[in-house]
A and B are shown apart, each in its own frame.
Chain A
Amino acid sequence: MINGSTILFYLLAALTLCCGILSISTRQIFRAAIYLLFSLIGVAGLYFWLAYEFIAAVQIVVYVGGIVVLIIFSIFLTQQAGEKLPKQRLDRKIWATLAAFCGFALTLLQVVQHEFPPVIPQAPVTVRGIGEKMLSTGAGGYALPFEIISMLLLAAMVGCIVIALRSKPETK
């Protein structure tokens, strides 16, 4: 039974995985970043498909709008444009592929063998519900982790500045 939703899912899955593989295999770093961008958009699409619109929005805003842009900036800062990435040693490639494939096979085997309980459909979560839960201090509320994450972000920000500034006196 093939309907639009199913087709959409397979398209999104193919987009995600293909772009992911291309992202790690291309030898042009800027292209790798663009493939990563599309792979992340694919994941965001999957979130939409799963009816988690808020997460999808966050994914696009943070990853696509933030992290990938950051990565592209750093590429511009550190890389000569158009230069190809050096090749990895062959034995390293073989071992890495082997290890990754074994892990993949093992995990998949476990997933397939596992019986999950049947799905009970429920009303999709609303943004309002997320907001209330996030700032709730009662049982099951996420106010404390929320605050901690904000502290972490602050620390990361300060840390970035410190790290980036560290070698400045030498260059003067």
Chain B
Amino acid sequence: MPNATNIALIPLLPLAGFILLGLFGRKYGKNKAGLIGTALLLGSTLLALYTAYDYFFVYGKVNGVYQQFVPLKITWLAFSKEMSIDMGLVIDPISVMMLLVVTFVSLMVHIYSLGYMKGEERFPTYYAFLGLFTFSMLGLVLASNIFQLYIFWELVGVSSFLLIGFYYDKPSAVAASKKAFIVTRFADLGFLIGILVLSYFSGTFDFQTLIARLTSPESNEVKTAVASTFLGVSALSWGAALVFIGGAGKSAMFPLHIWLPDAMEGPTPVSALIHAATMVVAGVYLVARLFPVFSVTTPAVLEIIGWVGAVSAIIAAVIACTQTDIKRVLAYSTMSQIGYMMFALGVSHYGGEAGLGYTASMFHLFTHAMFKALLFLGAGAVIHSVHSNEMKDMGGLRKKLPITHFTFLVACLAIAGVPPFAGFFSKEEILLAAYQHNTPIYWVALITSGLTAFYMFRLYFSIFWNKPREVPGEHSAATGNHGEGGFVMMLPLVLLGTGAAAAGFIPFGEYVSTDGKALESHFHLSFSIAPVALGLAGILTALWMYAKASDRPAKLAASLGGLYRAAYRKFYIDELYLFITKKILFNLVGRPAAWFDRNIVDGLMNLTGNTTVLVSERIKKFQSGKVQQYAIFFLGAVVLLAVLFIYVWK
């Protein structure tokens, strides 16, 4: 059986770090803060590893099926006998898998930041925030109750806000953190309503009970939920769709993705941790957690999820091809890969072989965390060395940053889906699932995978090969005297690189599947030819265009004209949002509301205030501070009252 103390300690150690560093870090632990945070997280990681080993190989499997355990459950807020918000821990394949991912990537980022953030003024604060984030993310992963998940969901949002806005004296970082917070809050509103709808019809917040009640078509809960409709759609579908909106907001799915590229204003390790490997997959995790409900009861919503994922994947891939800021390229790449995970869930079904998409999605989540964190950390090393995010300031760095170069190449190969790197296996499974269940999505995914290879290698060649365009000797990368950063920055790169290269060989289907039974992953060699060929084509195109400085990219951009410009401007989605919020919302809703507030609400307040002032102006003479005057009033009043009581009101 799972050991509740060990598992509870996994999120609590980073929390302890947060409290410790948050309260005392600035005063006492200026230099020790990073080491303390890292040490605590190392403890967490070891516990997570132990838990995973214990679960997958010792007690988890009963009769060939991985069971779900709830080793700890504390009723925190009981609304009624059935409805209560609990604080619990849930142990099942996906939560254990996520535990591993979160603690491992977080540990890598902690170690990496020791070098990257060195000398930062608010170093302890940074580590405190990292601890808070890790705690909330782990709490989210382990939540046994949908409301508990929501609480940690919001905590994750807050810590993400804090970390994006870490450089709070930079206006763009402040704006980005606000944008991220508002957009995800907006989506969370949908999530909250979705939670309320689902729990209203199922009568519980508890995941196990909720899923059990909402997935058996004969149950009363499903019948009433299906019977009550709104705008012709059953309440249950509304609930599921709203929950998905929350997930889409957090996971930066189209059209709620606009915050993710801006979130790159945060420190680069933070981008690696939050906006690549962990927080943004929370939406995927949420859908996976409620997957039985989606697939059994509301297949229509699952269909929507699939298409949202596919559209996000291809749009993001196209945009990524045109961006010049390397972190933005990676951001769009993240969005694209999460789109993959989403549509993999969308094309999946519950149980058996048909659940391949689910397994593939989780597998891709796992591998993606490795290589995307690696890419970001590598990009961080590059930025650390050239002090710029722009591609044009880079080039020819392969000699100067050999380890970074090598690990970055591994990550690029992994994400491009070149065998035998990790991305290949997970992507093949996703494509296979899509091919089996939804052909249009398969084609979209196939094109996207070609684009992925292209833009990743565009990035790779631009950074490490393409000679700088400036005249040598002027401000060029070669003259910078920053090395690769120390051992602490290279160690995570190497570890993650190993993961990105080897993680694909884990027989993932055996551990994670929709129903807990082992799932055989098949390899159809003939099936793999198309995506791999496309990937190689993308790489070769990138090689042809970017390996040497040339005017080929510019020519191509010119020939594509409008499309290029539209993609470069991110398909004008930001502008559209601005138009809607500024022109429509502000003018039509904000202005009248402001007028009403200023004139009616404030007017009433001012009226009462002014009346009071007027009255008090009149009567303040009475309070002169002269004792004798008071005494006269007092005596006069006593005499008057005496007369009244004795003669008038006998």
Contacts and interface: CB of A to CB of B under 8 A. Distances in A.
Contacts of A116: none
Interface string B275-295: 000000000000000000000
B189 interface: no
Nearest to B642: A106
A103 interface: yes
A103 B635 CA distance: 8
A167 interface: no
B646 interface: yes
Contacts of A106: 639, 642-643, 646
Interface string A94-114: 011001101100100010000
Contacts of B628: 92, 96
Contacts of B62: none
Interface in A68-119: 92, 95-96, 99-100, 102-103, 106, 110
B632 A95 contact: yes
B420 interface: no
B646 A99 contact: no
A74 to B, nearest CB: 18
B639 A103 contact: yes
A164 to B, nearest CB: 21
Contact of A96 (B632, B639, B646): B632
B636 interface: yes
A110 B642 CA distance: 11
Interface string A45-72: 0000000000000000000000000000
Interface string A11-35: 0000000000000000000000000
Interface residues of B, number: 9
Nearest to A107: B642
A102 B639 CA distance: 8
B636 A99 contact: yes
A92 B635 CA distance: 13
Nearest to B631: A96
Contacts of B638: 103
B377 to A, nearest CB: 65
Nearest to A103: B639
A7 B635 CA distance: 35
B417 to A, nearest CB: 83
A110 B639 contact: no
A100 B639 CA distance: 9
Contacts of B636: 99
Contacts of A110: 646
A102 B635 CA distance: 10
A80 B636 CA distance: 35
Nearest to B633: A99
Contacts of B646: 106, 110
B650 to A, nearest CB: 13
Contacts of A96: 628, 632
B643 A99 contact: no
A30 to B, nearest CB: 22
Given A96-B632, A106-B643, 6 more contacts: A92-B632, A99-B636, A100-B635, A103-B635, A103-B639, A110-B646
19 contacts: A92-B628, A92-B632, A95-B632, A96-B628, A96-B632, A99-B632, A99-B635, A99-B636, A99-B639, A100-B635, A102-B639, A103-B635, A103-B638, A103-B639, A106-B639, A106-B642, A106-B643, A106-B646, A110-B646
